[in-house]
Amino acid sequence: MFIEIEADSTVPIYLQLAQQVIEGVAKGELKPGDSLPSVRAFAADLGMNMHTVNKAYHYLEEKEFIQIVSKKGVFIHERSVREATEKDTDRLKKELRPMISEALCLNLSTDELQALLNDIVRDIKEGTR
């Protein structure tokens, strides 16, 4: 998969990396059970600090997007793609709420918000940045 890091973003690099792995899963480019490079190999490949890759991996592990199996490797988690539980949608609602508030302050109508959402889904699926 192709990882693109914005050096001047306010989003920390480890988080950009983690988010792009999640996008890879969302697009179906990465599938449960697929293996990811070791921290060392990924860092060398991306020209990044190993600490940064390590931090991204721990973030992804905590969110059950990857599983780190000692001496075996790093794998896309079996639970990375699944049907949403009520707990999942409750968490998503909570996380989305502050941004939706900001959108409402910008006078976006429900239709405009839905159009924005459709744009984002399309960008993710097409890999457009």
Residue among 45 and 88 whose Cβ is closer to a copy of itself: 88
Tell me the residue length of the chain: 129
* Cβ 14 vs Cβ 55: under 8 Å: yes
Does 29 engage in binding with a copy of itself (CB under 8 A)?
no
| Residues between 84 and 103 with contacts to a copy of itself, criterion CB under 8 A | 84, 88-89, 92-93, 95-103
Those residues whose C-beta lies under 8 Å from the C-beta of residue 103, and which sit 6 or more positions away, are 113, 116
Residue among 41 and 96 whose Cβ is closer to a copy of itself: 96
Counting Cβ atoms within 10 Å, is residue 57 exposed (0-12), middle (13-18) or buried (19+)?
buried
Residue among 69 and 120 whose Cβ is closer to a copy of itself: 120
Query: Using the rule CB under 8 A, which residue among 26, 46, 50, 68 binds a copy of itself?
Result: 26
- How many residues make contact with a copy of itself (CB under 8 A)? 43
How far is C-alpha 29 from the geometric centre of its chain's CA atoms?
A: 13
Query: Using the rule CB under 8 A, which residue among 7, 71, 110, 126 binds a copy of itself?
Result: 110
Q: Is 35 helix (H, G, I), strand (E, B) or coil?
A: strand
Does 51 engage in binding with a copy of itself (CB under 8 A)?
no
Residue among 44 and 104 whose Cβ is closer to a copy of itself: 104
Measured CA to CA, the distance from residue 116 to residue 118 in angstroms comes to 5
Nearest to 32 by CA among 20, 40, 24: 24
What letter represents residue 90's amino acid?
D
Does 31 engage in binding with a copy of itself (CB under 8 A)?
no
Contacting residues toward a copy of itself, per CB under 8 A: 19, 22-23, 25-27, 63, 65, 80-84, 88-89, 92-93, 95-108, 110, 112-114, 116-121, 123-124
